[in-house]
A and B are shown apart, each in its own frame.
Chain A
Amino acid sequence: MSDDAVLATRGAAGPASGAGIVSLRGVGKTFGATVALQDVSLEIAEGGFVSLLGPSGCGKSTLLRVVGDLVTPSHGAVEVAGKRASEARDDRDYGMVFQAATLFDWRTIRRNVELPLEVMGWPRARRRERAEQMLALVGLAEFADHRPPQLSGGMQQRVAIARALAFEPRLLLMDEPFGALDEITRERLNDELLAVWQRTQTTVLFVTHSIPEAVFLSSSVVVMSARPGRVVAEIPVDLPHPRTVETRESARYFALVTEVREALRSAGA
């Protein structure tokens, strides 16, 4: 079976309803006396690529973790695919990619990609087949039998993406996945991530503090302010696909980057 055949089945699942796949209403989170998030309301459409952008400490990672049911909100309601976040987690609706690749050094690259499938009880042959498809998707098929320390930081992050998408989650949560990489590698991975996103149709929620990265990748940029973390603007990005080097050099791209920067500044960030 080709990659396309496998990945096409995902699109067939389709959106469950007209509402967004993620729906936050009045979400707040306090850690002791610190207000990390205040009154965040947000709708994310299925198939979208939404960036959470803001300065350090604005609660964007906390917001991502609230969506992923890794942090319980102090106030408000979180709905994912029409369910409570905890139910969505039990239904394996989430793929997660962190700033660190968090690959397990004692496993080969192939078995790292198989990890979620093992946890979910897939039979061995299917796991192996899927891991190979996913590694091909991120261009690392020939590294299947290597171990994580043998790969560069950028390659490790591609493995993490392959692992996150292996079980076809409906929502891919990415917490500054390219934050630790150099600019050149980061731009290349941005291109690759967009290609993967277009092929898999997975909804992506992407945390970053890079304005160019947010604009280049997203269908919508959510701008947040710090202390307390609030949503100050939601800027739709209408750049055409496929996005390429020309996109990065287009007038519309610069206009959007400026618009996002202005929004951040007016938020006092």
Chain B
Amino acid sequence: MSVPARLRSWFPPLVTALAVLALWELGVRALGIRPILLPPPSAIATTAVDDAARLLSAVWVTGRTALAGFVLGCGAGFVAAVAGARWATLRQGLSVTGVMFGAVPIVATAPIFNLWFGALSPWSDIAVVALVVCFPTLIGTLTGLASAPAASHELLATYGAAPRVVLTKLAIPASLPFVFGALRVAAALSVIAAVVAEFFGGFRDSAGFFIKTLMANADYTGAWATVAGLCAFGLLLYGAVGLAERAALPRPTRQG
């Protein structure tokens, strides 16, 4: 992609984001909304800069948890789905089990994992994240693995291809667009899950704990700044998934 084209692709989202921020700033000022309800973006930015060191470390502590949970949960979801595609009896149980796990609320799992792994162990929060992101990855991968047309399967059947070969040459490559779609959802979910888990006894230097404390002290602008930091991390993770997708799925330009 040439530089002007790259700029063009960045331009619309950038303008949209700036417009939203400007509207927010002007709206808060014009309507005289109290900062306790909604601080203007300028105040949030000032707080973020003033408290940058603490903020960054808090976001990183939470981000680390989100990232570890993302890798483990998505990995488990993908592997389970592939195993389900390989052994049909497993697949039938998988969606049901997946939905059951997917429906378990974080508010219930967080205290339980604290009990299991210990409230001071990073694994309790990581396990919450993993459980949350596992479900969309499992469903996305199962859908993707079943997405190849019947004719493609017949084609491989005429080659006398073994089930393992059908999986590696057809089902898994065909599933990747669905898998990456699920990973995008999981990227955002992982940050949410990590913060919520931290509300139930995360590290004292984590963003979740930080937000809870700031709210208790009525430092709402500080809480907003932390949320903004988490959003930025979520965007980074989302962007990383997008880059991986672009590397894995070359998209040719159509002709004719």
Contact = CB atoms under 8 A, between A and B. Distances in A.
Interface in B140-187: 149, 151-152, 154-161, 165, 169-170, 173-174, 176
A30 interface: no
Residue with the greatest number of chain A CB neighbours at <10 A, chosen from B154, B156, B176: B154
A90 interface: yes
Contacts of B155: 96, 98, 102
A147 B156 CA distance: 20
Interface string B181-216: 000000000000000000000000000000000000
B225 to A, nearest CB: 43
Contacts of A65: 154
A119 B169 contact: yes
Interface residues of A, number: 28
Contact of B152 (A95, A99, A102, A146): A102
A116 B165 CA distance: 11
Interface stretch (B98-106, B229-237, B248-256): B248-256
A149 B253 CA distance: 8
A119 B168 CA distance: 10
A89 B158 contact: yes
A248 interface: no
A152 interface: yes
Nearest to B154: A70
Contacts of B160: 89-90, 92, 119
A116 B254 contact: no
B170 A146 contact: no
A69 B151 CA distance: 14
Contacts of A115: 159, 169
Contacts of B169: 104, 115, 118-119
Contacts of B154: 65, 70, 96, 98
Residue with the greatest number of chain B CB neighbours at <10 A, chosen from A95, A98, A99: A98
A132 B232 CA distance: 49
Given A100-B151, A119-B161, A119-B169, A150 B156 contact: no
Nearest to A153: B256
Interface in A89-119: 89-90, 92, 94-96, 98-100, 102, 104, 106, 115-116, 118-119
Contacts of B249: 106
A150 B154 CA distance: 24
Contacts of A98: 151, 154-155
Contact of B159 (A104, A116, A150): A116
A28 interface: no
A68 interface: yes
A104 B255 contact: no
Contacts of B176: 106
Bin the interface of chain B by size.
20 to 34
A120 interface: yes
Residue with the greatest number of chain A CB neighbours at <10 A, chosen from B154, B160, B250: B160
B250 A92 contact: no
Contact of A119 (B152, B165, B173): B165
B149 A146 contact: no
A119 B156 contact: yes
Interface string B239-250: 000000000011
Nearest to B165: A119
A96 B151 CA distance: 10
Interface string B79-102: 000000000000000000000000
B178 to A, nearest CB: 13
Contact of B250 (A104, A118, A147): A147
Given A89-B157, A119-B161, A119-B169, A150 B254 contact: yes
A89 B249 CA distance: 32
Nearest to B157: A70
Contact of A149 (B149, B165, B252): B252
5 contacts: A69-B157, A70-B157, A89-B160, A99-B151, A116-B159
Interface of B: 149, 151-152, 154-161, 165, 169-170, 173-174, 176, 249-250, 252-256
Interface of A: 65, 68-70, 89-90, 92, 94-96, 98-100, 102, 104, 106, 115-116, 118-120, 146-147, 149-150, 152, 167, 173
A-B pairs with lowest CB-CB distance, top 5 = A147-B252, A96-B158, A119-B159, A98-B151, A102-B151
Given A89-B160, A116-B159, 13 more contacts: A68-B158, A69-B157, A70-B154, A70-B157, A94-B158, A96-B158, A98-B151, A100-B149, A102-B151, A106-B173, A106-B176, A150-B254, A173-B158
